[in-house]
Amino acid sequence: MRLVRGIAVLSVASVGVLGLAACSSDSDAPASPSSASSASDEAPAKEASSDLTAENFVQRITDAQLAAGSVSMATTTEVQGTSMDMAGDIVFKDGSQNLAMTMTVPGSGEMQVRFVDGIFYMNMGELSQNKFVAIDPADESNPMASSFEGLTEQMDPAASVEALEGAITSVEKEGEPVDVDGVKAQQYTVVVDTTKLTGSIKEQADAAGTALPETLTYQYWVDADDLMRKVVMDVMGTTMEMTFSNWGEDLQVVAPSADEISTEPLF
């Protein structure tokens, strides 16, 4: 059971901290996804006065990603010499986000996680007979549901921005824009005071079972349209690198079909 929740927490956390789960609760999102996939080629470079700051970082990153409406993400996490890869697509929808991720877990092989319209689907290979197990966190009749309590809220975009309120202590521009996967992006060093985190992000930290340092430092590479292109963090012996592409593309994230879902209990 701990392994199941751990995978779900990792999937959510990878899209939740300081970016993809962030959403402004006090501004209007664009009415529909824009052609953000081509915007980086068409938009003029921003002036120095428009640099990201601790005060506007979350808001501007949020506005850009919601305007795009979708993104592909690839993550590599290294812990004590062991590497785990995860890749997939995220679509922002109705104040939340649907995601489909495939990950390679050392010792467990390839696994798939989807979160669609409030339901978690997990294909854990042989452990789940190579089918998806559907878990509704709100289903009190499902003994596994309680293990996922709170994860749905962590997918709520508004919750993350509230959790970050006042937690970002500094955003510093580093050098000149560089090429990241064919797109010019500016590097920023972002420092977060973990003692000021609240809500879903604090829950993610608590779920990790290890006390975080008082501050976390992230390296962000952001393009001329305020879209993240790469994020790197290194904390307590764990290194995580995330890259982002296909902003604004017509990505399809759907629930597994009925014949892909197991009717047998996982445990």
Tokens of 250: 């017509």
Q: Are 222 and 188 in contact (CB under 8 A)?
A: yes
Specify the pTM: 0.77
Between CA 177 and CA 185 the distance in angstroms is: 5
Between CA 223 and CA 229 the distance in angstroms is: 7
Phi, psi of 127 (to 5 degrees): -60, -30
Instruction: List beta partners, residue 105.
Output: 109
Residues 6+ apart with CB under 8 A from 128: 122, 262, 266
The confidence score (pLDDT) of residue 7 equals 47
Name residue 245's amino acid: S
pLDDT tens for residues 57-69?
888 888 888 889 8
The model's confidence at residue 146, banded by pLDDT at 50, 70 and 90, is: low
Q: Calculate ∠ Cα 144-150-156, nearest 5°.
A: 130
pLDDT tens for residues 162-199?
566 678 899 999 999 999 999 999 999 999 888 887 76
The confidence score (pLDDT) of residue 15 equals 44
